[in-house]
Structure 1
Amino acid sequence: MTDIALAVIGGTGLYKLADLQDVETHQPVTHYGALSGPVRVGTLGGHRVAFLPRHGEGHSLPPHKINYRANLAALQALGATRVLALNTVGGITERFGPRVLACPDQLIDYTWGRISTICEEPGTEVLHVDFGEPYTRSLRQEVIDAAASAGVVLVADGCYGATQGPRLETRAEIVRMRRDGCDLVGMTGMPEAGLAREMGLDYACLAIVANWAAGAGPDPDEVITLQDVLDNVAAASSGLPRLLSALLGARATR
Structure 2
Amino acid sequence: MSHFLSRFLVNKNLIRPSSFSSFVKQTRFCSSILASNYSLSEPIKTQFLCFLNHTKSSKSLFLGLRADHTMTSQSTEPQSVHDFTVKDAKGNDVDLSIYKGKVLLIVNVASQCGLTNSNYTELTKLYEKYKDQGLEILAFPCNQFGSQEPGTNEQIQEFACTRFKAEYPIFDKIEVNGPNAAPLYNYLKSAKGGLFGDNIKWNFSKFLVDKEGRVVDRYAPTTSPVSIEKDMKNLLEKA
Instruction: Name the TM-score, length of structure 2 as normaliser.
Output: 0.28
Higher helix share: 2
Q: Which has the larger radius of gyration?
A: 2
Instruction: Name the TM-score, length of structure 1 as normaliser.
Output: 0.27
